[in-house]
A and B are shown apart, each in its own frame.
Chain A
Amino acid sequence: MSDDIIVLKELSKIYGNGVEVIALNKVSLTIKAGEFVSIVGPSGSGKSTLLNLIGLLDTPTNGQILLKGIDVSRASPDERARLRNRELGFVFQYHHLIPEFSALENVMIPMLIAGKSKSEARERASEYLKAVGLEDRLKSRPNQLSGGQNQRVAVARALVNHPSIVIGDELTGNLDTKTSDMIYELLRDLNRKINQTFILVTHDMTLAEKTDRILRIVDGKLVCELLRQDDGFRTTELCDLGEDGGKINLK
């Protein structure tokens, strides 16, 4: 198995019948294990579509998605469900925890879906909640926790099945700077410690600049790719900086 955890080949997504809307236009991309990637771009640029495709929530119109070298772009709904459960972890903008479930129970769900026993799920969920600093809030429901705490529960839920990739969609979009930094530190720590791969879609350039690789999408096309080098970023050859490329601290 190669290091390439996700390979996208000429990936397109076209919506609509009659009037076609090209949400994603022949995007090719390779993401390696352990990378900490952010996807940026204006609203409606197709970054969420890209994320949904990588997350196997949606199917591409054309092109291929290789997950750990296997083409999953035409996988059956059940197979995609299985892969989402085992290989992918999701963190959304609004934590999206199930309100009636306690923090512990929310974290247990992916394991229960995977068919793990309740006792095993409970044990591991507790460990993960401890890892995100919520060992004393296991029984709390989402409405009894702060936004940051809920987002940490969501991170624990995304990680608990040891996924290959964790996908974040504006995961700090709803949080204040301090909490947002805390969540970032949490992810970065996991990235260093267990080489966890992260792909985050974000509006927040401050967050994007902390990641190792920034992919910029405009109008469904990958227009720029920036790689971390020392304290700044260097552009790759395909970069077309466009109107707001200057915001990034280039070296």
Chain B
Amino acid sequence: MFELTVARKHITSDPRMVAFAVLSVALAIGVIVVMMGMMQGYREDIISSTVENSPHLTVEPKEDEDYITLYRTLSGIVWQYPQVEAVSPRLLENAAAKYKDQVKGVSIIGADPLQEDPMMRVSQDMVYGDYYDLVFKKRAAVLGTKLAEDLEISPGDKFTLVRENQSLQLEVVGLIQTGTGSDQTLVYLPLETAQELISQGDVVSQIGARLSDINAAPDISSDLNARFNYEARSWQDQSRDILEVLDTQQVMMILFYVLIFIIAGFGVANTMIMTVTRRTKEIGILMAMGARRSSIVKIYLTESLILGPPAALLGCLLAYVTAKLIEAYPIEVPSEIYQVSSMKVLLVPEFFLYAVIFALLINFIAGIFPAYKASRLDPVQAIASL
């Protein structure tokens, strides 16, 4: 195929043109792959923190009721599902924490550490003290690290927890850091202490469960809903909003990728048009020697396409290095807004495949116009051109 011979010759004889065309596509690919990696990392972070920081399955009170009274029986029912690994009845409430002249709104979780820890893996997030202390100490609490900072309170200090007319003096026995926004408001209490605070007797507001297979949650929750009047919800239900936000974000990112593509495409097209203009005479000569218009199209499309793979390779390399750099020097972000504390780049092999497809696609599309333009030249005028 003489078209390939000619295209190859053009490329090897004009390294500067090649460098510019390849670089513009490589940069686009690098940026896109890193962005995809960041989005992927963020998405996985959000999902894993959502899955890790809330029960996979929750059962809440019946409609018109605020609390679950028969929580021990209900826990037993939840335990009957084979995928259930842990069950913990919990009492969730909002209250105010007061220490010296600082007052903060807090979200309390009253639970039995012996049941809560297997479900939420609280101990893993403890940065000070032992969550199991709450088994023995009833006037004690574990606070989120940010909350403790805001209250300017240290372990061993006593603070006041206030809700409506009730107030309790509690000692800080431990600090917990989940890495999410809840670190600002979280207070773990023994279940009995929480029940005392809300003065509704031996009740809970939620039964949480941990599953061995998180994808089983929707099935179990619909089964429970069919059998009882309690409201069972899977983590997918609870995180629907956040998953939707992630999806919307993805759509915006795709628009962004398309824009980067177009810009890179113009870079390649521009280089190719310049090449065609510079080689007008040569195109005329090839036509005089009998090259068909379709052959001229092939030469310039091939030329443009040949630039694809090196651009993809370079782009991937660029993305990989950038990802490693971001990994080595993490970019901190405010966790209250983003729910995660640092940007993470997660590159999956598919991204590199996409990069190659993208590169070929950009080069192909960008090559069409210049190649067509070249093939429409009038041989007589082309030869006469300077």
Q: Which residues of A contact B (CB under 8 A)?
A: 52, 55, 57-58, 77-78, 81-86, 88, 90, 92, 96, 98, 100-101, 105, 109-110, 112-114, 118, 157
Contacts and interface: CB of A to CB of B under 8 A. Distances in A.
A81 B383 contact: no
Interface string B366-383: 000000000000011001
B301 to A, nearest CB: 17
A52 B295 CA distance: 21
23 contacts: A52-B380, A58-B380, A77-B292, A78-B292, A81-B287, A81-B293, A82-B290, A84-B289, A84-B290, A85-B289, A86-B290, A92-B285, A96-B285, A98-B282, A100-B13, A105-B9, A109-B2, A109-B6, A109-B286, A109-B289, A112-B5, A113-B2, A113-B286
Contacts of A86: 290
Nearest to A86: B290
Contacts of B287: 57, 81, 84
A109 B291 CA distance: 9
Contacts of B383: 57, 92, 96
B10 A81 contact: no
Interface string B13-30: 100000000000000000
Nearest to B10: A100
A113 B295 contact: yes
Contact of B288 (A55, A77, A82, A114): A55
Interface residues of B, number: 23
Nearest to B2: A112
Contacts of A88: 290
B289 A100 contact: no
Given A84-B288, A113-B2, 19 more contacts: A57-B379, A57-B380, A77-B292, A77-B293, A82-B292, A85-B290, A86-B290, A92-B383, A96-B285, A96-B383, A98-B282, A100-B12, A101-B9, A105-B9, A109-B286, A109-B289, A112-B2, A114-B290, A118-B5
B281 interface: yes
Contacts of A78: 292-294
A90 B380 CA distance: 12
A198 B188 CA distance: 102
Interface of B: 2, 5-6, 9-10, 12-13, 281-282, 285-295, 379-380, 383
Contacts of B13: 100
B82 to A, nearest CB: 69
B290 A110 contact: yes
Contacts of A55: 288
Nearest to A167: B288
Nearest to A85: B290
A85 B291 CA distance: 7
Most chain-B CB neighbours within 10 Å: which of A82, A88, A92, A105? A92
A86 B9 CA distance: 24
A55 B380 CA distance: 10
A31 to B, nearest CB: 19
B289 A110 contact: yes
B281 A81 contact: no
Contacts of B286: 109, 113
A90 B10 contact: no
A92 B380 CA distance: 12
A159 to B, nearest CB: 12
Nearest to B5: A112
A244 B290 CA distance: 37
A114 B379 CA distance: 18
Contacts of A81: 287, 290-293
A179 B264 CA distance: 50
Contacts of A105: 9
Given A52-B380, A58-B380, A100 B290 contact: no
